[in-house]
Amino acid sequence: MAGTGTAHLHAPEEAMLRVENLTMEFPVGRTGLKVHAVSGISFDVLPGETLGLVGESGCGKSTTGKALIQLPAPTSGSVRFDGQELSGLKGEGIRKLRTSMQMIFQDPISSLNPRRKVRDIVAEPLHIWNIGTQDERRKRVDEVLETVGIDPNNADRRPHQFSGGQCQRISIARALVIEPKLLICDEPVSALDVSVQAQVLNLLEDLKAKYGLTMIFIAHDLAVVKNVSDRVCVMYLGKVCEVARSDDLYARPAHPYTSRLLTSIPVPDPNIKPDPSLRIQGELPSPMAPPSGCRFRTRCPFAQEKCAAEEPQLRDIGLGHYVACHFPLVGAGSASEA
């Protein structure tokens, strides 16, 4: 899987965010080895769109999310946001940029300072950027808290007095208080119960409509990603496997990895018996020495010699559905052309 290529990108002027050949490598001590966390991925996000990034732990989805806000800056590759190239930015430039790109994290409790009042936590971005008078800030904070479903009368409490779901709402309020254009959600619901998860997902949808937000939604749960995303980008070991409109991806997954991911999801229906033969076998290869060619080939039931020799490129199989596989499961003629 997992190829490179930029065939799936929209015209640069259409996209709000355009990422090309993003690479992120981390040195391993003084061994001279490198962890290839993200290896030349490209994707874009249109204004008002929600793009889902899915994959297992270690596929580089969170690293990608953080690289977008230059936290830290990527090893190479280009990130263009609203026409502005971010990869060379330093200091003040990056700080300014982060007012329009905000991020929320997985663990809602540890991402809030336990010693501060919720009101101060949410007001912090306004304070940093010196936006409004004290009264205006207070009003704005109350308004945002109200929107995310936290009673502003409780804003003088501290995070430990709220539940996990409420803390996630507070994190969302903090991200939204300075009216960002792009919200990056990194596994925002995976630490929550199913019932609370549903509340937070609905809230994100409401906020998107209300503020006209553009979102990148990072998660490992495909059902959750499908619910909120317009388009989904499937990642594996630092590469992109497949990009498609979300309904299309689920209706006809073209990459063997996507298809196996889909069958791993537990279905709340006792009549559908889990089938162990459809599991992805084995362990994720080490990102320090990723396999040659297609990175998924070591675990792919359909892998052939070509998969080891040649890295597949993302290509169109119709309806804006792109796959990086030499032998995709759908797409007429694709297998014979190889």
Q: Which residues pair with 236 in a beta bridge?
A: 239
> Beta partners for 24?
38
Residues 6+ apart with CB under 8 A from 74: 22, 23, 24, 38, 67, 87
Stretch that binds other proteins, among 37-45, 72-80, 92-100, 259-267 (CB under 8 A): 259-267
Q: Which of 61, 260, 295, 315 is in the footprint of other proteins by CB under 8 A?
A: 260
133 vs 271 by CB, closer to other proteins: 271
22-81 binders of other proteins (CB under 8 A): 56-57
Helix (H) or strand (E) holding 149: none
DSSP single-letter state for residue 190: T
Q: Tell me which stretch binds other proteins (CB under 8 A): 85-93, 97-105, 215-223, 309-317.
A: 215-223
In DSSP terms, 84 is beta-bridged to 81
Of 69-77, 111-119, 190-198, 326-334: span binding other proteins (CB under 8 A): 190-198
Our finding on whether 107 is near other proteins (CB under 8 A) is: no
Eight-class DSSP state of 180: -
Interface map 141-180 toward other proteins (x if CB under 8 A): ----------------------xxx---------------
Three-state DSSP at 199 gives helix
Nearest CB to other proteins, comparing residues 69 and 325: 325
x/- contact string, 224-243, with other proteins (CB under 8 A)? x-xxxxx-------------
Map tokens 């995070």 to a residue.
Answer: 159
Rounded-to-integer distance, Cα 149 and Cα 187, Å: 20
Question: Which position among 29, 32, 91, 276 is part of the footprint of other proteins (CB under 8 A)?
Answer: 276
C-alpha closest to that of 215 among 251, 176, 177: 176
Q: Is 130 in the site for other proteins (CB under 8 A)?
A: no
CB of 209 vs other proteins, minimal distance in Å: 10
- Please provide residue 251's backbone torsions phi and psi, each rounded to the nearest 5 degrees: -75, -40
If one asks whether residue 193 binds other proteins (CB under 8 A), the answer comes out as: yes
What whole-number distance in Å separates Cα of residue 85 and Cα of residue 145?
33
Among 20, 82, 205, 310, binds other proteins (CB under 8 A): 205
Q: Residue 269: phi, psi to the nearest 5?
A: -150, 110
Count CB atoms within 10 A of the CB of residue 319: 9
The pair phi, psi for residue 242, each rounded to 5°, is -155, 140
Residue 277 has what DSSP assignment?
G
* Interacting residue with other proteins among 91, 133, 273, 333 (CB under 8 A): 273
- φ, ψ dihedrals at 290, nearest 5°: -65, 150
12: contact with other proteins by CB under 8 A: no
Shortest separation between residue 251's beta carbon and other proteins, angstroms: 10
**Sole binder of other proteins in the list 82, 142, 221, 310 (CB under 8 A):** 221
| The pair of three-digit structure tokens given for residue 137, joined into one six-digit string | 């800030």
Q: Which stretch binds other proteins (CB under 8 A): 94-102, 117-125, 280-288, 302-310?
A: 280-288
Instruction: State the CB neighbour count (10 A cutoff) for residue 72.
Output: 11
Which residue from 73, 89, 196, 308 is in contact with other proteins, where contact means CB under 8 A? 196
In terms of CB distance, is 81 or 162 closer to other proteins?
162
Residue from the set 16, 122, 222, 303 that interacts with other proteins by CB under 8 A: 222
Q: Which residues of this chain interact with other proteins, rule CB under 8 A?
A: 56-57, 163-165, 193-199, 201-202, 205, 220-224, 226-230, 246-247, 250, 260-274, 276, 279-280, 282-284
